[in-house]
């Protein structure tokens, strides 16, 4: 596999820091450029994240002394020296959309963590194990943007990655309705307990915009391609409640599901155990060996014990049992800044690299 030079836009943030730790030893991707807002531009990376480095591992030596560039003002220079960029920024939607399109139009593919472009029908929203076929709408997008190699691809919201992977292998039984309550970690808001002390011993029953994303994004993931664009699936009916809980990392979902053709619990567990997606078949560097793991213990999965399963790229499931209102209920968990953000983003980029989209 060829080596690729990459830039990280939003390198100083929570997801950006995760990207740095994941990419510093990546076999295919080499960090060439770091960029953030004008507040960080001109500082060394170490200075820019001083007092807010939130990873357990120390800042990798190779990036400490790199000068952080301005993602907006230095865009031309950045796009000219990298093969593609990862993007994880906290700006309003319109500004994020404009910045991502700017890089794409500079012929620099954008692997995005942001929500601004998720609703666009020719922008693939990829969970690599689930809908790699959606990558093909990039060709329609390139025509719209007038580019040869520049395009935007997004990963989905972190909340849905705790329950959509568990539901996906069961789609063949005709899922009719889903109720999911998510219990989301504070790193999902770019925070830790030091920076958000109000979250200690607390629960906040509101995460702005999260329920809308949690109900709509699965329908794009399960959508069909028509005339080169993604048309959202019409079912299942999904309703959610998203709560912020005092957990550092790991989003948990309590899920209720009904089917047209109800499978047995054994069939469901077997499908989870056997499920493999394209990342496993291609042997991508960040692919978990086992995407979905079922725990028989009644008190699993637990955020603290299980979020790092398969280096944070596996999804843990437990407590599958019949329900009085729905056919079944279960609990599932994924690491929100690994599988749900930076790790999922890197795995998506590996899929594009393996299929030649960066060449």
Q: Which of 26, 168, 251, 335 is catalytic?
A: 251
Considering only 7, 10, 223, 314, the residue that binds ligand NAP (CB under 6 A) is 10
When asked if residue 187 is in the footprint of ligand NAP (CB under 6 A), the reply is yes
Alpha-carbon distance of 58 to 272, in angstroms, equals: 35
Q: How far is CA 75 from the centre of its chain?
A: 24
Considering only 5, 24, 30, 72, the residue that binds ligand NAP (CB under 6 A) is 72
Which of 210/327 has CB closer to ligand NAP? 210
Spatial contact of 316 and 293, defined as CB atoms under 8 Å apart: yes
When asked if residue 292 is in the footprint of ligand NAP (CB under 6 A), the reply is no
* Residue span binding ligand NAP (CB under 6 A) among the ranges 186-194, 212-220, 227-235, 268-276: 186-194
Q: Using CB under 6 A as the criterion, what x/- string covers residues 298-337 for binding ligand NAP?
A: --------------------------------------xx
Q: What are φ and ψ of residue 188, in 5° steps?
A: -65, -20
CA angle 88, 310, 45 (to 5 degrees): 35
Catalytic: 181? no
Q: What is the dihedral of CA 115, 117, 119, 124, to 10 degrees?
A: -110
- Which residues lie below 8 Å from residue 122, measured CB to CB, with a gap of 6+? 137, 138, 140, 141, 144, 228, 229, 230
Alpha-carbon distance of 171 to 164, in angstroms, equals: 10
Which of 114/293 has CB closer to ligand NAP? 114
Closest approach, Cβ 344 to ligand NAP, in A, equals 8
Alpha-carbon distance of 313 to 347, in angstroms, equals: 9
When asked if residue 141 is in the footprint of ligand NAP (CB under 6 A), the reply is no
Structure tokens at 234: 């019409």
Which of 15/242 has CB closer to ligand NAP? 15
Closest approach, Cβ 260 to ligand NAP, in A, equals 32
Catalytic: 251? yes
- Angle, helices 14-23/343-354, rounded to nearest 10 degrees: 50
Which of 65/209 has CB closer to ligand NAP? 209
DSSP 137: G
Which of 91/233 has CB closer to ligand NAP? 91
Alpha-carbon distance of 59 to 57, in angstroms, equals: 7
Residues that bind ligand NAP (CB under 6 A): 10-16, 36-37, 39-40, 71-72, 88-91, 113-115, 158, 187-188, 190, 336-337, 340-341
What residues are annotated to the active site?
Answer: 158, 251
């Amino acid at each position: 596999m060829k080596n690729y030079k990459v830039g990280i836009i939003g390198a100083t943030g929570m997801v950006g820091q995760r990207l740095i730790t994941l990419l510093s030893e990546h076999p295919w991707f080499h960090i060439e450029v770091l960029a953030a807002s004008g507040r960080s531009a001109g500082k060394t990376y170490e200075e820019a994240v001083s007092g807010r480095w939130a990873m357990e591992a120390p800042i990798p030596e190779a990036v400490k002394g790199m000068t952080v560039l301005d993602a907006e003002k230095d865009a031309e220079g950045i796009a000219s020296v990298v093969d593609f960029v990862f993007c994880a920024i906290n700006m309003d939607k319109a500004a994020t959309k404009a910045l991502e399109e700017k890089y794409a139009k500079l012929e620099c593919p954008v692997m995005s963590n942001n929500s601004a472009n998720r609703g666009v029908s020719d922008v693939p929203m990829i969970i690599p194990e689930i809908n790699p076929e959606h990558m093909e709408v990039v060709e329609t997008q390139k025509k719209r943007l007038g580019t040869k190699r520049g395009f935007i691809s997004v990963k989905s919201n972190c909340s849905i990655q705790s329950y959509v992977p568990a539901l996906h292998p069961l789609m063949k039984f005709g899922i009719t309705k889903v109720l999911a309550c998510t219990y989301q970690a504070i790193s999902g808001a770019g925070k830790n307990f030091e920076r958000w002390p109000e979250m200690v011993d607390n629960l906040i029953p509101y995460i702005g915009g999260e329920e809308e994303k949690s109900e709509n994004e699965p329908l794009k993931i399960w959508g069909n391609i028509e005339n080169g664009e993604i048309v959202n699936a019409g079912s299942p009916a999904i309703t959610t409640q998203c709560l912020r809980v005092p957990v550092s990392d790991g989003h948990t979902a309590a899920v209720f599901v009904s089917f047209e053709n109800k499978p047995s619990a054994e069939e469901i567990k077997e499908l989870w155990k056997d499920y493999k997606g394209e990342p496993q078949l291609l042997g991508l560097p960040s692919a978990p060996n086992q995407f979905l793991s079922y725990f028989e213990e009644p008190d699993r999965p637990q955020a603290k014990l299980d979020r790092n399963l398969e280096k944070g790229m596996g999804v843990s499931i437990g407590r599958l049992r019949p329900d009085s209102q729905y056919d079944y209920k279960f609990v599932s968990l994924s690491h929100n800044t690994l599988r749900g953000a930076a790790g999922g983003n890197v795995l998506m980029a590996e899929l594009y690299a393996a299929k030649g989209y960066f060449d």
